[in-house]
Amino acid sequence: MDATPDFIQDALRENSNSPSYPVTTGAPDLRAALKDYCVRYLGAQGDFDVLPTVGSKELVAQLPFLLQAKTILIPEIAYPTYRVGGILAGAEVVEVGIDAQHWPTSGVDMAWINSPSNPTGRVHSQVELDSVLEWSKKSGAIIASDECYLPFPDKNQGLSILASSSGNNANIIAVHSLSKRSNMAGYRGAFVVGDPALISRLLEIRKHMGMMAPLPIQKSVTVALSDQRHVEEQAERYRARRRILKQSLEGCRLHY
């Protein structure tokens, strides 16, 4: 695990005096930074809203419950928390392949997609994302797109679902995290972005169930989002490690 960049640690220290309750919806400077990031780096267009969360794992585990989803689709090879969230909500969890043309179009409330994927690293193509969007229109179900590895492409650059929706963000929510982007897993800084009506539903419940992001963390996330250089440096570190891994595997006659 690489260190949290110094300028982010400084922001945490400088904002340690935090006697008031933080605002669930996020401090104005954080909201502005999130919206700017979503337009600039995710290609978000049209009407969308943002909501800071305590980690993205916590949000993934709670989302089906928060949205009262009773049947959810998850990738057949997936990060385990998608299933856990479904179980916690008492929902039926159905595993599906990548191609949304084969997904059921009735009796489904939401579907998780994850690109780049954990654990496979696979990146959805534009055609695959378009097909997921088409499915959502047909089924009326919510797409929850976990994009926490988007800042670190491997062979292919991933695309946010928000860059593909042509500004029609109804029933779309994307999940992002500072854990990987800025090596801040211990801070639990993350956010969701998408359909303002869905964000408003989440906000209303979260106002009363707690889980507001602590203010020193909100400030640290705001500062982290203002810099892209540390993300590029981290991406280069990962590329260098992959090159070494590839060489070692090929030395053992294994293909990477």
Ligand X SMILES: Cc1ncc(COP(=O)(O)O)c(C=O)c1O
**Residue ranges binding ligand X (CB under 6 A):** 55-57, 60, 79, 114, 118, 146, 148, 177, 179, 185, 190
Taking each helix axis from N to C end, the angle separating 196-209 and 57-66, rounded to the nearest 10 degrees, works out to 100
Nearer to ligand X, 57 or 122 (CB): 57
Determine how many CB atoms are found less than 10 A away from the CB of residue 78.
19
Determine how many CB atoms are found less than 10 A away from the CB of residue 66.
18
Nearest to 45 by CA among 129, 167, 169, 192: 167
Determine how many CB atoms are found less than 10 A away from the CB of residue 161.
27
Smallest gap from Cβ 120 to ligand X, in A, equals 11
Q: Which residue do the tokens 């869905």 mark?
A: 198
Nearer to ligand X, 85 or 139 (CB): 85
Nearer to ligand X, 164 or 183 (CB): 183
Reported for 206-209, long-range contacts at CB under 8 A and 24+ positions apart, including other chains, are 206/24, 206/51, 206/66, 207/24
DSSP-derived 3-state class of residue 172: strand
Strand partners, 174: 145, 193
Strand partners, 113: 145
Contact in structure between 101 and 130 (CB atoms under 8 Å): no
Token readout for 22 is 């933080």
Strand partners, 51: 192
DSSP-derived 3-state class of residue 9: helix
Smallest gap from Cβ 118 to ligand X, in A, equals 4
Nearer to ligand X, 81 or 171 (CB): 81
Smallest gap from Cβ 107 to ligand X, in A, equals 26
Nearer to ligand X, 109 or 146 (CB): 146
Which amino acid is it at 119? Answer: P
Smallest gap from Cβ 54 to ligand X, in A, equals 9
Smallest gap from Cβ 253 to ligand X, in A, equals 30
Nearer to ligand X, 22 or 55 (CB): 55
Smallest gap from Cβ 47 to ligand X, in A, equals 25
Instruction: Tell me how far apart the alpha carbons of residues 158 and 75 are, in angstroms, rounded to a whole number.
Output: 17
Nearer to ligand X, 60 or 162 (CB): 60
Smallest gap from Cβ 106 to ligand X, in A, equals 28
